[in-house]
Amino acid sequence: MENLLSRTAQTRARLLKAATEVFADAGLAGATTREIARVAGVNEVTLFRHFQNKEQLLAAVIEKVIALQAEALDNQDKWTQDLYTDLSHYAWLFNQMLEEHEALIRTFIGEAKRHPNAACQILHDAAQSLNEKLIAYLRKGQENDTVRSDIDLMPAVDMFTGMLLAGMLRRTATPSTLGYSTKLYIETCVNLFVTGISSLPLKQGRKEKTEGEKE
């Protein structure tokens, strides 16, 4: 029984890996279940035992892509509640996801106006689920008076993740023309965002956190 479960999990993992490659290479409309099955080394019947259709497979691929960020945000009780520390941690996780799936992300952007309705809904639901976790963290900050109460968190989170996405796209397209490192860019994004949403000046907030850690 355990061997069967293990083989099933391995087949599913191969299908997800193959789907990620095919979606990135052929686009969402051009990708076919037959090609995904071929790349995974299985027949199409096996694919349909795991996924009913291409849209369900796409949803599983996206779910896998954002799993790292979702897991990090699920355990909010373990966060330090220091905006700079927590958002720096999140930014690096988010950037890691972006860089690992650059080709797939560029495909989504390139086909943004040509996605089937089902694919659009899948992408929207995945992004919304991830954003809601970060919004919940920042809302707790508003309750604790560490985040400005006049900030609309939904566009603020879109702005933060948008800066990180834009940085990845430019950095991977023209790496030799940039006069700064990835580390400096991400730190600058976090600094700008925290300065904008914090109810305390950034330096004061960091100073209070440091003093609290020494006690």
Domains and CATH numbers, the chain: 1-51 (1.10.10.60), 54-214 (1.10.357.10)
Do 74 and 133 touch, CB atoms closer than 8 A? yes
Do 123 and 101 touch, CB atoms closer than 8 A? no
Each residue's pLDDT tens digit in the chain (215 positions)?
Answer: 556 568 889 999 999 999 999 998 998 888 999 999 999 999 999 999 999 998 899 888 888 877 766 776 666 667 888 999 999 988 998 898 888 888 888 887 877 677 666 666 666 777 777 788 899 999 999 999 999 999 999 999 999 999 999 999 999 888 778 889 999 999 999 999 999 999 976 554 454 444 444 44
Round the CA-based radius of gyration of the chain to a whole number and report it.
20
Phi (first) and psi of residue 82, to 5 degrees:
-95, 120
| Residue 19, token pair as written in the block | 């789907």
Scanning the structure block, which residue is given the tokens 């976090």?
A: 190
| Residue 203, token pair as written in the block | 């330096």
Tally: H helices and E strands in the chain: 10, 0
**158 Cβ neighbours under 8 A, 6+ residues apart:** 131
Task: State how far the alpha carbon of 202 is from the alpha carbons of 16, 85, 108, 176, 196, in Å.
Answer: 42, 12, 35, 32, 9
Do 158 and 135 touch, CB atoms closer than 8 A? no
Q: What confidence score (pLDDT) does residue 175 get?
A: 72
Residue 191 to residue 84: CA distance in whole angstroms: 7
| Residue 118, token pair as written in the block | 């089902």
Phi (first) and psi of residue 144, to 5 degrees:
-95, 5
